[in-house]
Structure 1
Amino acid sequence: MSAVRTRVEAMPPGQARTEAEAWISWATATVERLDPLSTPPRLLDVPEPRADDLRPFLGHWNPYGPTY
């Protein structure tokens, strides 16, 4: 990005330079927004599993254990 800035700074004043500067601002903001390392990583908040959470995957089995 620094090479682009250097090139734009060397451009004569005018519409092309103004548009290039606007593009640089947009690109910089987009990179900062999409960068996954711009905020510190954190662990996900995983809820405590319940027996009923298994029910869709067990078919005819009971998630609470065997019944006799």
Structure 2
Amino acid sequence: MSAVRTRVEAMPPGHTKTEAEAWISWAAATVERLDPLNTPPRLPDIPKPQADELKPLLGHWSPYGPTC
């Protein structure tokens, strides 16, 4: 990004330079917004599985525990 800024600073004043500066501002804001390191990492909230959700994965086993 610094190379683009340097190039734009060297441009003569005018419409093209103004558009390039606007694009640089947009690009910098987009990078800032999308950078995952701008917020602290955290583990996802994982809900405790319910018995009905486990049934398809357990085959003939009961999600409620062993039966005698």
Quick check: TM above 0.5? yes
Unaligned runs of 5+ in 1: none
Q: Single out whichever of 48-57 and 36-45 deviates more from structure 2.
A: 48-57
The SS at the match of 1:54 is helix
Identity over the aligned pairs, expressed in percent? Answer: 79
- Which of structures 1 and 2 has the larger relative contact order (alpha carbons within 8 angstroms, sep 6+)? 2
Q: What TM-score comes out, normalization by structure 2 length? A: 0.81
Q: Which amino acid is the alignment partner of residue 47 of structure 1?
A: P
Q: Which amino acid is the alignment partner of residue 33 of structure 1?
A: R
Q: What TM-score comes out, normalization by structure 1 length? A: 0.81
Number of residue pairs matched by the alignment: 68
Moved over 4 A (4+): none
Higher helix share: 2
Unaligned runs of 5+ in 2: none
The aligned runs of 1:1-68 (5 Å cut-off) are: 1-67=1-67
